Amino acid sequence: MPDDPAGRIVVVLDLDGVTDKAGLMDRCARDLSLPEWFGRNWDALADCLADPALWPDGSAERGLLVIVRGWREYAGKRPEEWQVAEEIFAEATDRGPGLFVTLGS
């Protein structure tokens, strides 16, 4: 897991090979350790990202940095869906302190 100079907990969301919304939701559930009841839809993703109670231990106090890797293939194949995903990442970052989502390579 990468280190963060600001001391935040770092989680990598690896989208390598993801080409549709279902794949994105599955990776979010897996990589972000979302609860079993995660509905695998846009609203549920936004709600889970914005809820510090669902973040990894220590993240609510230290902050959470989500690095999204391997996103370009998905963005190219499903640009409309990717735009929604980006909006959700940005909205979740704005909704509460401590969450930062950044796009990696």
pLDDT tens-digit map of 64-87: 999 999 999 999 999 999 999 999
Query: 33 phi and psi, to 5 degrees?
Result: 50, 50
Rounded Cα distance between 42 and 57, Å, is 24
Whether residue 74 contacts residue 41, with contact meaning beta carbons closer than 8 Å, is answered with no
pLDDT tens-digit map of 2-56: 678 889 999 999 999 999 999 999 999 999 999 999 999 999 999 999 999 999 9
CATH architecture of 9-103: 2-Layer Sandwich (3.30)
Q: Would you state the pLDDT for residue 63? A: 94
Q: Would you state the pLDDT for residue 5? A: 82
